Structure 1
């Protein structure tokens, strides 16, 4: 459904991705793992179109979208939850959610559906984004992305720095989202989360995909993977 084909990308004069090829199919859950600075977040930004492809191609359902701006990428059905959440602090939780609905894509995700997924947001709907806890802000960032009714959801470190009980809540929610047919790409440092959610993995090192495979291959090659992701 969404793929990078031998993509180079970077920041200013610095090249961060070197010939990265990565894909997620309809309904899949795929994990991007690796050390800090390996290029995982940059790969998500390239998939979303936040960073342009200097070489290679970005494709959606077999069609090149390499030059498409971010707002048009979103309207295709690609959702993005950044690592720093980027909640609108002065807006209430509900106002933040309604911002996500402005793509006007039809689909099942409404305010009521997001509140069913995250009851805590319903309780805090009138609280300003800046007053929410870290876990509540992460729920809000995911809910806002869902309000655009994407077909693919890109999640950058969704459980980083959160208490174990909140991690479990978010992992359960992502499992529900994926179980209903939405494709998910997840970048995580908490390795237990992608192991629970994903059936395919890509390990990044120095801005390139160093290993890729499914759950069986992951288990068989665990020693090599531990060396790639170890500090």
Structure 2
């Protein structure tokens, strides 16, 4: 995918949703603020408008309303999904290096915060269609969520979004800097991790084996060797 083809005539307005300017990118889940009993609270919601666009782009007229979706036709589409999470700057570099975005979009992603007064990408789960048979599921984080002194709420948001990422994908790519890794508490007890989730609704999931897993994922012009910790992308 050549970003220059898509971006040559696009003018990006300030205070706009940056997702609208990235070809082939769809927001699946969005982290947003909502009114709660004790003030504003963070919630993760389905991005209905982008879901409609995704469905109709893949199968025209398949999404007429939230209660009228042609799942039969949508289920006929085969799409391999690979997860991606970690440092937002490193994720942006991956997208730039693979020509999914251009330099102008990259610069906005690096400083992607609402307080900057510029277009930014909201925290959430995104789908980038790399090609017709392959999609990259991106956990776009809150800026600073991997820092040592970040708030417990921000850590909780990060954990919740990552759980959704692992439900959508079997394989994930992790992008972390040395500074990010220095902030990790490798001795944290499980009870500390779960302490913030006591008030949340819990769900039980059952995983059933459907077919033998293959060691490599390969798609035309996009190859991942999953036998090694270091992943190489080839076009």
Q: Same fold (TM over 0.5)?
A: no
TM-score range, shorter chain: under 0.3
Report the TM-score when normalising by structure 2: 0.26
RCO greater where, 1 or 2, for CA within 8 Å and sep 6 or more? 1
Q: Which has the higher helix share?
A: 1
Computing the radius of gyration from Cα coordinates, the structure with the larger value is 2
